Structure 1
């Protein structure tokens, strides 16, 4: 039997799950898993979308948090990363041909796995690149997704060796001359002391141990095509017209010390996002669900105040968190 999920000593896979692969519109087999709730009566299903270079195993802890509250979790590895197939020969390069492929994969996952095999109502929890995908797809998800929580959505870049403007221009130029498969820089191995992702050393080392034990899940630098497609998506989803067209009640959980995505970009999004509410997590870094307990607890409190619940209750509860 083909092994689908991987456990490590300090990160065992949750029980009570189904796992496998589903086929996309263009013939790729993406790795997925569905985790059932720990309570007899399910309160719905959370569709969990990962960030760039992430994979299902990294979210085992968060999945347990959600299933303990009576929620099912359905998740998959984005194309080109984790346990899903790579898209170019240079396996370690993070690549995408068209951003719309991400959206079509999400649609296929909802149709083939979530709708027939999980429990209503459906919610979405999306981080970073996953949140960009959710924002892009949101206008046509309103008949399927009841509520949406976006964690540190990928709306821009900071903390890089070059400015966002230079990265954008370079990726566009390389794609124009047929070199979209080239990586933008090199990924160095992060050390805890200078990492922009989390201030929690235990969780940082746990995630590093997963990648070391199963290097086939890890991913290197993004290609020019990946960056070009994402920058075009960022431009599209941040337009007022697009944000006005989103009717799914949403919360944006924004770490104020995010070292990858500018907090100001997340704050600016909320000005035109009429269905969305900004919840800053003061002091937290980019990977809020991999952060120290005090920051993680604040993010989870915001999530559970909003999902599930009525619009009125959620607005009051989220506002009362005071993070």
Structure 2
């Protein structure tokens, strides 16, 4: 569960490795970074599917520079955390309740035990959906939360959501949940091209993502399994019900990417309208990974973050 440091992606100074054990025994890789001097609070950094803590070194540094303690986590099945299948490249969970266990353990054994209040969360894509599920409870540790490109609906690069939901459900029921979906691209992450990618318009940051998995192939995963898609569709379907948003009392800022093809910003808009203390900002021209985007797009994000998070 060691961390790597590369010339264009140096490890944040003072990063401390942690191991969190979920309620079902899965070991999760986590990290803690403290600022110099008295902290202004804590930001929990919750990544998207197929990401790693290393990918967020720049973001961690920017949060620490703002005076926050940062706690970060690799979800089960990716990064340096335990993999659930014999083929470690398959990104898989049977149910998003598995991720709920990860977040509960991370909250109990790291956030509440080692970090100061007030506590905030910054969550991307799949991580944002997992966080929203947790915000329905009364015992949330977070005063405010910021979501980037939350996974609420599938974007235009994917087949229609109703089709993915129905087909993945049928194939999972047939015992094929651990298989890749029909037509899934098995191109290795480090071999992907910048041209036409749906993630970022910044070539340097795109190359940095690839450099991480070239140096540590064990951190990479491939496409989601059929079972993962079925679980994600079930979680998105649940999030679309009016009662889901009505149960969230924590202030939520959703920052959507105007050029997102991975998720559907209009689905985020519908959800945010139902959250009593929710608001949405759309950054024009941004692709899915807003925090890995061009400097002008990232500056727009940080302006929204700083206006929303007290103490920043």
Matches within 5 A, 1:9-24: 9-24=7-22
> Mind listing any 5+ residue stretches in structure 2 that lack a counterpart?
none
Secondary structure of 2:171 counterpart: helix
The one of 108, 116, 119 aligned to 2:116: 119
8 Å contact kept, 2:158–2:262: no
Residue 141 (structure 1) shift:
5.5
Match of 1:47 in 2: 44
State yes or no: 1:274 paired with 2:276.
Answer: yes
Which is worse superposed, 272-281 or 284-293? 272-281
8 Å contact kept, 2:169–2:230: yes
d(CA) in 1 for partners of 2:139 and 2:296?
32
d(CA) in 1 for partners of 2:35 and 2:240?
35
d(CA) in 2 for partners of 1:246 and 1:164?
24
d(CA) in 2 for partners of 1:191 and 1:169?
31
Q: CA RMSD in A?
A: 1.5
Residue 54 (structure 1) shift:
0.2
Match of 1:252 in 2: 254
Residue 270 (structure 1) shift:
2.1
d(CA) in 2 for partners of 1:137 and 1:231?
17
Residue 161 (structure 1) shift:
5.7
The one of 295, 301, 304 aligned to 1:302: 304
Match of 2:102 in 1: 105
- The C-alpha deviation readout for 1:218-258, integer Å capped at 9, x for no partner, is 11010111111111111111211110110001100011111
Residue 293 (structure 1) shift:
0.4
Moved over 6 A (4+): none
The one of 95, 111, 121 aligned to 2:92: 95
Matches within 5 A, 1:148-187: 148-160=145-157, 162-184=159-181, 185-187=184-186
- The C-alpha deviation readout for 1:176-228, integer Å capped at 9, x for no partner, is 11111011212434311110000001100111111111111111010111111
Secondary structure of 1:194 counterpart: coil
> Mind listing any 5+ residue stretches in structure 1 that lack a counterpart?
315-323
8 Å contact kept, 2:123–2:131: yes
TM-score by length of 1: 0.92
d(CA) in 2 for partners of 1:203 and 1:142?
37
d(CA) in 2 for partners of 1:254 and 1:112?
31
Match of 2:23 in 1: 25
Secondary structure of 2:135 counterpart: helix
Secondary structure of 2:136 counterpart: helix
TM-score by length of 2: 0.95
d(CA) in 1 for partners of 2:73 and 2:138?
18
8 Å contact kept, 1:4–1:20: no
State yes or no: 1:83 paired with 2:80.
Answer: yes
Residue 20 (structure 1) shift:
2.4
Match of 1:320 in 2: none
Residue 288 (structure 1) shift:
0.3
8 Å contact kept, 1:42–1:70: yes
The one of 216, 223, 226 aligned to 1:224: 226
Match of 2:291 in 1: 289
Match of 2:63 in 1: 66
Match of 2:33 in 1: 35
d(CA) in 2 for partners of 1:144 and 1:150?
16
8 Å contact kept, 1:240–1:273: no
Secondary structure of 2:35 counterpart: coil
